[in-house]
């Protein structure tokens, strides 16, 4: 097993606990199907992609039917193609990034550090660039990735972003000055991206839980303060009622004493009269 194959397997193995939460690894592809495909179109599937199909999976697909797949499943037995479109037997003709409908004086939103061809009149588009490739992933909004199986860009992964940004270009990483990605490079990049997103989601969930806990703690504290105020009010009302009861008792006692005094005085006067 060469270094690229080891890197691929190590990346998947180390990250499978993350990938298994989102994706299903479909069965590997029988080698006879790949041999028949290669014979039919007179091409050779790039070695690292071939290794992936035979030893890892023919497709790492999203468990959510509305989600995007990490790697598409390919039907090598009944591969869809037309005579002049999506035909692996016809070489892929692009050799560098192509920007359609704009001249060389256009300003790109994301500067591209490598060579660009500007197809202002859509001549390249009309001629077609869909041959000599296998679609390997969809990115949404009509954007997709494909691996070249026939032509000078053989084994490189490209992105068809015509539907969103009117451009087609090879996968690249200018930070590490990599103007091309092999299937292994592309897959590892995708796996790392999923791990990063997973980590960000975990941090986001932790932050949300902490924020929710802080809100709940504040609500609980407000409830405690209200309960303390309520109990304090009850105590004050009870104390006030007790005070009023004492005052009423004192009034009753005074009234009783007064009545008794009046009674005794009346009694005394009545005795004297007799």
What are the tens digits of pLDDT across the range 216-269? 888 888 888 888 888 888 888 888 888 888 778 777 777 676 666 676 666 666
Tell which residue, 147, 146, 93, 101, has the closest CA to residue 123: 101
If DSSP codes are grouped into helix, strand and coil, which group holds residue 25? strand
Domain boundaries, the chain: 3-194
Mean pLDDT of the chain: 88
Tell which residue, 121, 126, 102, 125, has the closest CA to residue 112: 102
Give the residue ranges of DSSP H helices in the chain: 3-22, 31-41, 47-55, 123-127, 162-165, 183-273
Pairing of strands 60-62, 23-25: antiparallel
Q: What is the pTM of this model?
A: 0.75
Residue of higher predicted confidence among 113 and 256: 113
Q: Are 16 and 60 in contact, with CB atoms under 8 Å apart?
A: no
Q: What pLDDT sits at residue 143?
A: 96
Q: How far apart are CA 13 and CA 75, in angstroms?
A: 25
List beta partners, residue 160: 144, 168
The CATH architecture to which 3-194 belongs is 3-Layer(aba) Sandwich (3.40)
């Amino acid at each position: 097993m060469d270094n690229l194959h080891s890197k691929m397997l190590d990346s998947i193995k180390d990250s499978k606990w993350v990938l298994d939460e989102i994706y299903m690894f479909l069965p590997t592809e029988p080698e006879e199907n790949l041999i028949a495909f290669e014979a039919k179109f007179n091409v050779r599937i790039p070695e690292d992609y071939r290794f992936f199909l035979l030893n890892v999976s023919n497709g790492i697909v999203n468990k959510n039917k509305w989600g995007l797949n990490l790697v598409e499943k390919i039907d090598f037995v009944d591969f869809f193609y037309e005579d002049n479109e999506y035909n692996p037997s016809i070489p892929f003709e692009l050799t560098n990034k192509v920007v359609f409908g704009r001249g060389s004086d256009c300003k790109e939103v994301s500067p591209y550090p490598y060579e660009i061809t500007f197809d202002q009149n859509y001549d390249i588009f009309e001629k077609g660039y869909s041959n000599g490739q296998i679609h390997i992933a969809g990115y949404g909004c009509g954007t997709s990735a494909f691996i070249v199986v026939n032509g000078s860009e053989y084994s490189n992964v490209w992105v068809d972003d015509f539907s969103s940004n009117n451009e087609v270009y090879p996968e690249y990483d200018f930070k590490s000055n990599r103007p091309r990605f092999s299937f292994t490079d592309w897959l590892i990049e995708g796996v790392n991206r999923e791990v990063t997103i997973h980590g960000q989601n975990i941090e986001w969930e932790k932050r949300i839980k902490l924020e929710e806990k802080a809100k709940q703690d504040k609500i609980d504290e407000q409830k405690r303060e209200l309960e303390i105020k309520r109990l304090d009010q009850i105590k004050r009302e009870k104390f006030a009622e007790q005070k009023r009861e004492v005052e009423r008792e004192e009034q009753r006692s005074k009234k009783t004493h007064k009545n008794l005094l009046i009674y005794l005085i009346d009694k005394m006067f009545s005795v004297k009269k007799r």
